[in-house]
Amino acid sequence: MLEALTGTGLAASAGLNAYIPLLTMGLLARYTDAIELPSSWSWVSNGWTLTILAVLLAVEVVADKVPVVDHVNDVVQTFVRPTAGGLAFGAGSSSETVTVADPGAFFGSHQWMPIAAGVVIALCVHGVKSASRPVVNATTGGLGAPVASTAEDIGSVVMSVLAIVLPVLVLGVLGVLVWAAVWVVRRRRRRKRERIGSVETRHLFG
C-alpha cells in the first residue's frame, strides 16, 4: 500500500501545483538516493526537464498570487494539473524509494491504472482549490490570494516530500484536504443563501 500512498500524495500535490511534485522527484532522483526512478521515467530527472519545470513553476507561483489572474491560471491549469498528477502518480508509485523496495509488486502489469488514478486525484484537488479561491478573494477583498497561494505551495512541497520519505503521513494531509473541501462547500452554500436573501429583501422593499 505504500506505493499507492506515494502516488496519491504526489498526485494530490499536483492538484495544488502541477510542477512541484515532478520537480521534487526529479531533484531527489538526480541528487540523492531518496528515490530511484525506473528507466521509463528517467526523463523526470533530466537537466533540461528540471530547468523547464523550474521556469514553469516560477510563472505559476507569481500568477497564482494575483487576484483575477489566479482565476485565469486555474482555468488553464484545469488541463495541466490532472496531467501532471497522472505523471506524478505513475512515476512515484513505480519508483524505488526509501520506504518502497519492490514497487512492481503492487500494480503489476496494469501500467495505466496509476496514471488514471493520478489524473482523477489531481483533478479533485484542483477542483477544491479552484472553488475555494473565489471565496477567499471575496471575503478578503483579494488580499488573501497571495496568502492562500503560498500556503498551497508549501502544502504541495510538504506533500511531495512526505509521499516519498514517509508516505503513511500522506493520510493526515489528505484528511486536511477533505476538511478544506467540506469548508469550501459550506462557505459557497452560505454565500448563495446570503445572495438569495439579499435579492428577496430588495424585491420586498422595492
Residue 14 DSSP SS3: helix
| Total number of domains in the chain | 1
Q: In this structure, what are the phi and psi dihedrals at residue 19, rounded to the nearest 5 degrees?
A: -100, -20
Which pLDDT score, from 0 to 100, does residue 35 have? 87
Read off the pLDDT of residues 58-90 as tens digits, 9 standing for 90 and up: 999 999 988 888 888 889 999 999 999 999 988
Which pLDDT score, from 0 to 100, does residue 167 have? 79
Read off the pLDDT of residues 141-200 as tens digits, 9 standing for 90 and up: 777 788 888 988 998 999 899 888 887 777 787 777 777 767 766 776 776 666 665 655
| CA–CA gap between residue 64 and residue 153 (Å, rounded) | 10
Which pLDDT score, from 0 to 100, does residue 62 have? 92
Q: Helix H segments across the chain?
A: 2-16, 20-31, 47-63, 69-93, 104-107, 112-140, 144-165, 170-205
* Predicted structure pTM score: 0.82
**Full domain range(s) for residue 21:** 2-205
> For residue 106, is pLDDT > 80?
no
| CA–CA gap between residue 132 and residue 130 (Å, rounded) | 6
| CA–CA gap between residue 55 and residue 44 (Å, rounded) | 15
| CA–CA gap between residue 120 and residue 22 (Å, rounded) | 17
Cβ-based neighbours of 161, under 8 Å, separated by 6 or more: 24
